[in-house]
Structure 1
Amino acid sequence: MRTRPPRTHVQRSTLTAAALALALAGVTVLASPQQAGAVESTPIGFGAGTTGGGGTAAVTVSTLAAFRTAVTGDAAKVVKVNGLITLSGQVDVGSNTTVLGVGSSSGFTGGGLRLKKVTNVVIRNLNISKPLAPSDGVTVESSTKVWVDHNSFSADRSHDKDYYDGLLDINHGSDNVTVSWNTFKDHFKGSLVGHSDKNASQDTGHLKVTYHHNHFSNVYSRIPSLRFGTGHFYDNYVVGADNAVHSRMGAQMLVENNVFRDTKVAVTTNRSSDVDGYANLRGNDLGGATTEISRTGTFTSAPYSYTAEPASSVVASVTSGAGAGKL
């Protein structure tokens, strides 16, 4: 696929008045599906500027011992994972690191990766499956500048909901994260942002996360669930959820141009926590799903330029472009 930077201009003759208003706020609206689907070489959204190991010469590993050694420390490094590595628990990844799967079937099963008190980390093209509790597939904890892109996360729903932990959880004041072009399949708890209602002192003003062009299939909830922070959820495809986007504990969410199918509640702001969240919705195809919006938020314009693909082309773009093996 051809790498293309995000567009920075629009043609007024091809856009509606609403699209022009978005363009003035820094949003580019694609005029046709044919313009969509290119693989980004750098993250778009709150995680912009994340480079990981950059152009550092890559080291390829195929065993757990070699992987642990390769991702340790804060020096710039690019670590390629060749094959599927079985984990028990999580492996800590150092700062200034790119972890990149080789081909379409490399990655980890049984556990996951932890980014704790680190910065500038890229996680791409990995298969991450069946993270046994208490391990998440990927945990981002007290960390900044993270890009999680083109991975395939999965488990199964034949076990109790607590048998596995989250596929991708972001917590403890983490910030400036982009989650793009991933697949999340067959799981109860998709992506939790902000682990507790009681962590306001650490999380308030942080937990800024962008989700775009992800495919959530047969994931029960937490798509995502966001406390305290600021979430931008656009151009995602959600199928088979009970409740999907969940804004709580004063979180601000902008939910735009997504497609929901076979989903009961697309967006809620008033479940499970003592304090409701906020949400703004625009351009979504709810597919018959309901919404529970108790409070409309002030987050109406993201503080970065990005490409807003219309909901009418999201299914084609996401099903063809998301997941491992598409880089």
Structure 2
Amino acid sequence: MRTRPPRTHTQRTATVAAVAAALATATVLALPGSAGAADSSPVGFGAGTTGGGSASATTVSTLAAFKTAVTGSTAKVVKVSGLISLSGQVDIGSNTTVLGVGSSSGFTGGGLRLKNATNVIVRNLNISKAVGTDAITVQKSTKVWLDHNTLSSDRDHDKDYYDGLVDITHASDYVTVSWNVFKDHYKGSLVGHSDNNASEDTGHLRVTYHHNWFDNVNSRIPSLRFGTGHFYDNYVVGAETAVHSRMGAQMFVENNVFRDTEVAVTTNRDSDVDGYANLSGNDLGGAATEISQVGTFTSPPYGYTAEPASSVVASVTAGAGTGKL
């Protein structure tokens, strides 16, 4: 029998260090919504969204191939390689994962639409300058995870030249928006499109936003009607009005950082009915708040780990956007 020579003190020390590092990494990855590692599954209202799951991936580099690949409701994983130009929007079918390859793949000139879909993941895409439409529209859809995307336009045009970056409407439900960069835009993210849509939207529009970086986005960060929103560990820079709760919506605004922002949270603008908001642990950075009604939503119905506001800027600027998975 072959005898292995005893390990030296240096080798034992190196082994212990390696094990300790592995355990530390495992601990970080196990924390839902923790900073420092890409989430392997959505945290928040979108929890349980699996997209295409373990289906074999199809890689596309043209618009025609992409449209074909994302059609239908069978489980599918579609990887986008390179930057694809489009006009308008492409509809994404149910049970789909759309994943950008590298840090610069995605779409320009138009965007994606999830309509009457369920169980959809969109990750690691650059979507820019979607003229006359949203970068991503979620409409009449449930179980959606939008993660580690970079969404942008410019502010060289008037505020209606582009539409929203992420708009969630028509009773969509159970959505998580995490670790995205929203930048250089007027109207960031609208949840609930109209004051007159109570019959459809009431009891739906449950959305979680966490660890997103809103940089030079003027407003709608987000604007929420009728629904329930959890906004935690986000970094907002350069907004006129950020979080906007209206038409009876319930917002829990927790451990966020606001800089160069005029109004961090408002509940009493632009609609006939005010919204509700609860604030906890935020660093307002001198921004005003306009809270006409304190809400009852303070305990989200899911597990998550909210880091303190003191570490949010470092975590979000290091971890949000494409190329960070």
TM-score when scaled to structure 1? 0.90
Query: In structure 2, how many angstroms separate the alpha carbons of the residues matched to 1:6 and 1:254?
Result: 21
Using the aligned pairs only, state the percent identity.
Answer: 78
- For residues 244 and 164 of structure 2, the distance between their equivalents in structure 1, rounded to whole angstroms, comes to 15
Alignment-derived partner of residue 4 in structure 1? 29
Deviation at 1:297, TM superposition (A): 0.4
Matches within 5 A, 1:278-317: 278-317=276-315
Matched AA of 1:83: G
Q: Secondary structure at the match of 1:201?
A: helix
CA–CA separation in structure 2 for the residues paired with 1:77 and 1:36: 29
Q: Distance in 2 between matches of 1:111 and 1:273?
A: 29
What displacement does 1:82 show?
Answer: 0.2
Stretches of structure 2 lacking an aligned partner (at least 5 in a row): 1-24
Q: Which residue number in structure 2 is paired with residue 101 of structure 1?
A: 100
Match of 1:219 among 217, 220, 225: 217
Deviations, residues 104-128 of structure 1 (Å, cap 9, x unaligned): 0000011100000010000000001
Q: Please state how far the C-alpha of 1:5 moved relative to its aligned partner.
A: 2.5
In structure 2, the partner of 1:176 is 174
Q: Structure 1: how far apart are the matches of 2:206 and 2:194?
A: 16
Q: Distance in 2 between matches of 1:48 and 1:179?
A: 11
Larger radius of gyration: 2
CA distance in 2, matches of 1:91, 1:144: 18
| 1:163 aligned residue (151, 158, 161) | 161
Q: What pairs up with 1:268-287 in 2 under 5 angstroms?
A: 268-287=266-285
After superposition, the C-alpha distances for 1:131-180 in whole angstroms (9 at most, x for unaligned) are: 111x1000000000000000000000000110011000000000000000
Distance 1:147 1:36 in 2: 17
In the TM superposition, residue 296 of structure 1 has moved relative to its aligned partner by 0.3
Q: Is the contact between residue 177 and residue 210 of structure 1 (CA under 8 Å) also seen in structure 2?
A: yes
User: 1:239 is matched with which residue?
Assistant: 237
Query: How do 1:189-208 residues align onto structure 2 when only pairs under 5 Å count?
Result: 189-208=187-206
What are the Cα deviations for residues 269-296 of structure 1, in whole angstroms up to 9, with x where unaligned?
0000000000000000000000000000
Contact 1:155 1:185 in 2 (8 A): yes
* 1:38 Cα deviation from its structure 2 partner: 1.4
**Contact between 1:250 and 1:275, CA under 8 Å: does it hold in 2?**
yes
Q: Give the CA deviation at 1:37.
A: 1.9
Tell me the equivalent position of 1:132: 131
Deviant stretches of 4+, over 4 Å: none
TM-score normalised according to structure 2 size: 0.91
1:190-218 Cα deviation digits (max 9, x unpaired): 00000000000000000000000000000
* RMSD between superposed Cα atoms in Å: 1.2
**What is the number of residues matched between the two proteins?**
300
| Structure 2 letter corresponding to 1:286 | L
**Which residue in 2 is equivalent to 1:48?**
47
Counterpart mapping for 1:132-151 below 5 A: 132-133=131-132, 135-151=133-149
**1:59 positional shift:** 0.1
Alpha-carbon offset, residue 83 of structure 1 = 0.4
| Corresponding residue of 2:151 | 153
Q: Is the 8 A contact 1:222 1:244 kept in 2?
A: yes
Alignment partners' CA distance in 2, 1:156 and 1:5: 37
What is the rounded CA distance, in whole Å, between the counterparts of 1:216 and 1:316 in structure 2? 14
Amino acid at match of 2:118: T
8 Å Cα contact 1:232/1:302 also seen in 2: yes
Asked if 2 retains the 8 angstrom alpha-carbon contact of 1:97 and 1:122, the reply is: yes
2:307 is matched by which residue type in structure 1? E
Q: SS at 2:68's partner residue?
A: helix
Residues in 1 aligned to 2:120 and 2:298: alpha-carbon distance in whole angstroms:
28
Structure 1: gaps spanning 5 or more residues: 8-27, 29-34
Equivalent position to 1:319, from 312, 317, 320: 317
1:308 alignment partner, SS class? coil
Q: For 2:198 and 2:83, locate their aligned partners in 1 and report how far apart those are by CA, in whole Å.
A: 38
* 3-state secondary structure, aligned to 1:297: coil
CA contact (8 A) 1:233 1:255 kept: yes
In 1: Cα distance, 2:182 partner to 2:259 partner = 15
